[in-house]
Structure 1
Amino acid sequence: MTFSSYSQKKVYLKKIDSIKKDMSSLHVKDSIAYANAHYNIGRLYRKSFIGDSSYYHYQEAEKIYRNLDDKFRLAETLYGIAVIQKNEKDLTASELSSIEVITLLESLIETNRVLRLKSSTYNNLGLVFGELGQYEESISYYKLAISLKRKLEGNNRINIDISKNNLALSYKKSGEYKLAQDYYSQILENENLINERPDMYALVLNNYAHTLYLSKNYEELPDLYFKALKITDSVNPGGYNSIIINQHLAEYYNDKNNKDSAKYYAYKAKDIAGQYHNDELLSSLLLISEIEEGDVATKYLKEYIKLNDSLQKNERAIRNKFARIRFETKQIEQENIKIARERMWLLIVSVVLVISSFLLYLVIAQRNKNKELKFIQKQQQANEEIYNLMLSQNEIIEEARTLEKKRISEELHDGVLGRLFGTRLSLDSLNLSNSSDAIKARGQYIDELKTIEQDIRKVSHELNTDFVSGSGFIDIIKTFLETQTLTYGLEYKLGHDDTIHWDEVSNKTKIHIYRIIQESLHNIYKHAQATLVNISFKLKNNVICLIMNDNGSGFDVNKAKSGIGLKNMKSRINEINGSINITSEKDVGTTVTIEAPIT
């Protein structure tokens, strides 16, 4: 956040001149007074956003406070340095300075001023990690800051709301829009905020509106943006916050394909941002290049690239200047240097020990993992051998069954049926007798023999039909699915094409298909959180097509890493000259398609 006006900057600079005049009358030995003067000058320069001058005076104050071993004032000074480093994008240095502040404060009694400084430092760390895009860490530091601010004496609601706004911003940037909206709503519930701090109220309202926009909730838009802009302009016309609101309005109208309004607010944001020549001018130029078309878009894109390079060079120059200032500060006591070195070596040794322990743990864990994988591989090989034997045994049994049926069929047809046929002929010849009773009796016997003959032919035909041919493998799959889905708590549907002659499919192909189904079910149970899996077998151009799909959570196929299970599936399908294709959609499910030639 920048100063509200240039007049305020002039006030700060006048105060600096006054302090510098007072310093000339101080006695050289009055170290505390000198340190306090440097600190106050550094703080006023920081509020005026003159980073290099502020940094220099803070460094001078730091040197004296270190010599005096005044931990609290040293912590205050380092906090000021950390804020400057953060503002000038020297984020790593700001993090280190902030951590040193926390370390110093931890050794002090927890007074109100210690808590206040510690909460501000945690808030600064939240800002640093937010700039780095590490939102998880940023959120944790903001929460620490809020918890400490709640312990402070007096009414600290505004101060807490500032950290809540920062926290909500990190949630927004990390995509946690619901949480961001909750925190913004908490701030806006303060009915006095719009009167006490209208600038902050407008800032929070704009952030809340932008969160709604990002979450595709346009019901209250763009009215909330206009309300925030009106309040901002009434407090500080053409101020820093109005840049952001105009950018958000441009984004909104561009998304709605209202190009005229989008251009109007985008150029308005650029014109205001031009007064500051900072990151917001950079983002305004990029926004215009996205809204405009043709040569105009190219022009602003080039301006964006040029300004981006300029800002980066400027940031590097400032960081280098900070480094030179720090390098030139050489008057810290030798005792403190010695302690710092001892701490550094202690830290190095600790880090080495931690890293060594971690590497040792990784080696041991990897060995155990390798042993486990070898055991699993052996188990899989054993299972495959068992399954091979099972299939071979089924084939032997099936072959024996077929031979036995054929033998019985031939026996019935050639033996019993032949004899019955001969008997019927004999009875026919006896039917020449003129006795009515004899004719009637023999006729009954002949009809009965015909019936027996037809029954025997029917049985012979049924026995000679291999009615279980090809059903063995599907039965095995069905039995496996019933057992495994019951264990995993899944429902399943199995469909198969009766035209597939599984007897013609090699055992190797059937084993790999069986194992692929097994691995897919395991993955569904472990990762997908599904309730139903559909499995179907189809035959297309002499190629078996296996399709498995679930109603699970799905995943991003492009980003997902290939685990051992998936690698095994691909290896198996390659061994039978087949192909595998996996498609998935989040919250819809995953489909695995396997194609394997019969021969």
Structure 2
Amino acid sequence: MKSLFSLLILLHCFFYSNGQSETRIKAIDSITQNVLKSNIKDSLTIANANFTIGEHYRYSYLADSSYYYYHKAEKYYEKLGEKLQLARTLYGIAVIQKNEKDLTGSELTSIRAIALLETLVETNEVRKYKSFIFNNLGLVLDQLGQQEESIEYYKKSLKLKRNLKGNNANTIDNSVNNLALSYKNAGNYNLSIKTYQELLANENLKNVRPDFYALVLNNYAHTLYLSEQHEELPELYFEALKITDSVNPNGYNSIIINQHLAEYFFNSGNKDSAKYYAYRAKEISEEYHNDDLLKSLFLLSTIEEGEESAKHLKAYIKLNDSLQKSERAIRNKFARIRFETNQIEQENIKITKERFWLFIISVIVILSSFLLYLVITQRIKNKELQFIQKQQETNEEIYNLMLSQNESIEEARTMEKKRISEELHDGVLGRLFGTRLSLDSLNMSNSDEAIKTRSQYIDKLKTIEDDIRKVSHELNTDFVSGSGFIDIIKTLIETQAIAYQLDFKLEHNDDINWDSVSNKKKIHIYRIIQETLHNIYKHAQASQVKISFQLKNNVICLMIEDDGSGFDVNKAKSGIGLKNMNSRIKEINGSLQITSQIEVGTTVSIEVPIP
């Protein structure tokens, strides 16, 4: 069995060292199938054979075949409990997934491999594969746009690689280049330039690994370009391209350098050179992965104009991968958390519990706050209702006091009129009557002239007597019923007019029986007139105001007119005074209408039904 396995490995090495034509690959595959179909009972040998074939196909960029054999090896190693070999296999799968742009799968597979290696004793081999897997995670996360995490994984990889046994200069240089690339992608150009300069300072690098040296030089030049340090450009690009073409004409690295040259010349205003290098990058990239061709097409759509630009843009859209990096990053974030150390898992459980209790407490606090808000709101409403009720009671008391005061005044007037009437009747009339009798007694003189004179005086005294009796009678007559409320209104208007320096005119008739109007309505009418006069003084700048009362169809019609500045009724804000007026009108089932004209005046019309 061992001889067959060794023969298989030797055949693979022979064919791969002499090229990878389609015929040779088919021959290898045929030999591989025959070996694996042979009666080999050693599962570990079969697993190793599948792993080795998967490795060779991976280095040949035959992703489907490589994944197939890696997958078979994975199943064997998992059953056998070969953790180190399983981790190596998973690393290979992760690299394939990364190359095929399955970044989510590559990340998950890499973390699974790291989890396996964490359970093993840390030998040099374990540290080596850890460093490889960390480096792969750095590449994946960099493509996902998560540069900070990518940099951390590169640093972990370098730390392990620098402590490995043997000569690891090449793999260390690879990780350093990747680290500098992440710095560049993160926008940390100074640190990226410094890292590239450390690599380029190695004088043997150009001779020992010229293709890698050209790659580093191109990355360094592009970082200088992004940081707007163009002194050494485009010479560094040309040097990198020259070295790359000398090692591998039209190789993979040439694509990136040509793209960078096209970008540089386009932004420098040299469109001809930009087109030349952009088309060259496109031609070379057509033989490689679609991602590089995608970049070339997008670059050409930017450089070209008109129909040519549209053609390249359509090709770019057709080729564009539907998966977005941001979506992958979201899906992968939790996958990384699940495969972290047990300590992080415990912390996550603790955080979940804390969040759960925080949620419960938050719900309780919110419900309590809501209930407290309801209680406070209800109390405020109750206080408002109590205040309104007390205000109404106070208004009633004020009005009753005003009525009482007015009744006292009217009673005093009546008494005074009665006293004057009695004085006129009992005093003046008595004396006049006595005088008339005296004069009448003088009528005994028979002289014509005396008779005529006395008669004239007697007639005049009769006239005076009639006039005094008439005045006495009028003074003793009761005032018109219901005139008390109008007197209150007149007193209010007179007082306000004097205070506000207004000329007023009050018009009313006796059709309104104020005694049949409720006190509540009279109080609200009184307050509305008071508030309207205050608004006229405050806003209208009027000099005259007219207040009139009329009764129409058993409805009291009150109109208050001023000659003030007026306002736009549609644009005016509703202040607390107007709100109070509307509230009062609503309580007595009345209606309120305000009309106004600029520089003409304002009219407030109020209608209140008597019933």
TM interval, shorter chain, is 0.5 to 0.7
Alignment partners' CA distance in 1, 2:152 and 2:343: 28
Is this contact kept in 2: 1:26–1:34, CA < 8 A? no
CA deviation vs aligned residue, 1:214-253 (integer Å, no higher than 9, x gap): 0000000000000000000000000010000000000000
Alignment partners' CA distance in 2, 1:266 and 1:350: 51
Asked if 1:261 is matched to 2:258, the reply is: no
Counterpart of 1:7 in 2: which secondary structure? coil
Match of 2:36 in 1: 23
Asked if 1:299 is matched to 2:296, the reply is: no
Q: Would the alpha carbon gap of residues 62 and 188 (structure 1) be closer, same or farther in structure 2, given more than 3 Å must change?
A: same
Normalised TM-score (structure 1): 0.52
1:149 is aligned, of 129, 148, 161, to 161
Match of 1:468 in 2: none
Asked if 1:184 is matched to 2:196, the reply is: yes
Alignment partners' CA distance in 2, 1:200 and 1:221: 20
Is this contact kept in 2: 1:58–1:80, CA < 8 A? yes
Match of 2:108 in 1: 96
Asked if 1:58 is matched to 2:70, the reply is: yes
Q: Would the alpha carbon gap of residues 114 and 180 (structure 1) be closer, same or farther in structure 2, given more than 3 Å must change?
A: same
Alignment partners' CA distance in 1, 2:217 and 2:263: 17
Cα offset, 1:207, TM superposition: 0.1
The code of the aligned residue for 1:81 comes to: I
Asked if 1:173 is matched to 2:170, the reply is: no
Alignment partners' CA distance in 1, 2:143 and 2:18: 27
Match of 2:351 in 1: 354
The code of the aligned residue for 1:22 comes to: V
RMSD of aligned C-alpha atoms? 3.3
Cα offset, 1:13, TM superposition: 6.3
Match of 1:217 in 2: 229
Structure number with greater Rg is 2
Instruction: Name structure 2 gaps, 5 residues minimum.
Output: 1-15, 326-337, 366-611
Counterpart of 2:19 in 1: which secondary structure? helix
Alignment partners' CA distance in 1, 2:127 and 2:293: 36
Alignment partners' CA distance in 1, 2:18 and 2:189: 36
Match of 1:459 in 2: none
Is this contact kept in 2: 1:13–1:44, CA < 8 A? no
2:151 is aligned, of 126, 131, 139, to 139
Corresponding pairs, count: 336
Cα offset, 1:353, TM superposition: 4.6
Q: Would the alpha carbon gap of residues 60 and 222 (structure 1) be closer, same or farther in structure 2, given more than 3 Å must change?
A: same
Counterpart of 1:100 in 2: which secondary structure? helix
Q: Would the alpha carbon gap of residues 356 and 198 (structure 1) be closer, same or farther in structure 2, given more than 3 Å must change?
A: same
| Pairing 1:378-527 to 2, within 5 Å after superposition | none
Identity %: 57
Asked if 1:288 is matched to 2:333, the reply is: no
1:87 is aligned, of 86, 92, 99, to 99
Match of 1:38 in 2: 50
Cα offset, 1:15, TM superposition: 4.8
Cα offset, 1:281, TM superposition: 0.6
Is this contact kept in 2: 1:243–1:272, CA < 8 A? yes
CA deviation vs aligned residue, 1:160-201 (integer Å, no higher than 9, x gap): 010011111111011000111111111111111111111100
The code of the aligned residue for 2:119 comes to: S
Match of 2:220 in 1: 208
CA deviation vs aligned residue, 1:328-361 (integer Å, no higher than 9, x gap): xxxxxxxxxxxxx9x9999999755532324545
CA deviation vs aligned residue, 1:474-508 (integer Å, no higher than 9, x gap): xxxxxxxxxxxxxxxxxxxxxxxxxxxxxxxxxxx
Alignment partners' CA distance in 2, 1:347 and 1:158: 34
Match of 2:207 in 1: 195
Cα offset, 1:21, TM superposition: 3.4
Alignment partners' CA distance in 2, 1:306 and 1:54: 28
Asked if 1:107 is matched to 2:104, the reply is: no
CA deviation vs aligned residue, 1:63-121 (integer Å, no higher than 9, x gap): 11111101101111111111111122222221111111111111112211111111000
Cα offset, 1:25, TM superposition: 3.1
Is this contact kept in 2: 1:12–1:45, CA < 8 A? no
Normalised TM-score (structure 2): 0.51
Is this contact kept in 2: 1:16–1:44, CA < 8 A? no
